[in-house]
Amino acid sequence: MSKHVRGTRVTVPDIRARKSGEKIVCLTAYTKPMAELLDPHCDILLVGDSVGMVLHGLPSPVGVTLDMMLLHGQAVMRGSQHALVVVDLPFGSYERGPDQAFKTASKVMRKTGCQAVKVEAAEGVAESISFLVSRGIPVMGHVGLRPQATNIDGGFKAKGRTADERERVLAEARAVDAAGAFAILVEGVAPDLADEITATVKAPTIGIGASKDCDGQVLVTDDMLGLFDWTPKFVRRYADLRALIDRAASQYSEDVRTGRFPAEAEIYKLRTVRGS
């Protein structure tokens, strides 16, 4: 298990330099306590718009607002000292063009203190990425399965299964790379397509439901920790916190109802004042 020295923040050039080198470790984080736990082990903490589904119970990321991303981005920055923190730009906050994208991205960086933003590679977004990068805002691209496009796709569906779709994903990755993205998240594509993207682009790729040969990997932390009954096929559960929390809550409930909690050691007692 690798743990990094706290206080030395990973930079965008550090991530770029990991292309075809040491694998990049990335997990999602939405709160200060979780960021503190993950920070020593991760190169990147992604404040993903998945927060809408994971913490707020939304059916997709489409309902996530900019204010939500600012709030969670600020919390993660308070809890991290080492990892590069990347914040998603939410649906509707950047697609109109470079000016809108810059207004949103600059606000996210000012308000949260994060080091980079992430955008999904919708049509025309490459121009906005280039605009942001040229003005000092590092950008991570996102190709393949794009959660913000779930209404068009009819759900969360893997990409690149037809020749036309495969070429479109490759074209998106090339455009994002040429626009200056420092890394590209590749989601929900077959391993051979992910490998072709990785071999084609200069930026390091970070896979999720893609290929083990991407330059790094990311998972939604709550999935990896087993906090949900169901998780996608590509998730490996490293813990079963749902069961642990259920047992702890059950034991607490029983102790309260039977009077075993609180015990003497858990109660404040009146101090005796000398001389009284």
Please provide the DSSP assignment of the chain as one string: ---PPTT----HHHHHTTTTSSPEEEEE--SHHHHHHHGGG-SEEEE-TTHHHHTT--SSGGG--HHHHHHHHHHHHHH-SSSEEEEEPPTTSSTT-HHHHHHHHHHHHHHH--SEEEEE--TTHHHHHHHHHHTT--EEEEEES-GGGHHHHTSS--B--SHHHHHHHHHHHHHHHHTT-SEEEEESB-HHHHHHHHHH-SSPEEEESS-TTSSEEEE-HHHHTT-SS---TTPPPS--HHHHHHHHHHHHHHHHHHT-SS-GGGS--PPPPTT-
Q: Is the pLDDT of residue 116 over 60?
A: yes
- Per the annotation, where are the binding residues? 49-50, 88, 118, 120
Q: List the catalytic residue out of 22, 123, 187, 266.
A: 187
Mean pLDDT of 173-182: 98
pLDDT at 1: 45
- Tell me: the pLDDT tens digits for 206-237? 999 999 999 999 999 999 999 999 999 999 99
More confident residue, 153 or 241: 241
- Per the annotation, where are the binding residues for 3-methyl-2-oxobutanoate? 49-50, 88, 118
Mean pLDDT of 50-67: 97
- Per the annotation, where are the binding residues for Mg(2+)? 49, 88, 120
pLDDT at 75: 98
pLDDT at 7: 58
Q: Is the pLDDT of residue 6 over 60?
A: no
Mean pLDDT of 65-82: 98
Q: Is the pLDDT of residue 4 over 60?
A: no
Q: Is 22 a catalytic residue?
A: no
Domains of the chain, by residue range, sit at 12-243
DSSP 11-55: -HHHHHTTTTSSPEEEEE--SHHHHHHHGGG-SEEEE-TTHHHHT
Q: Is the pLDDT of residue 3 over 70?
A: no
Q: Which CATH code fits 12-243?
A: 3.20.20.60
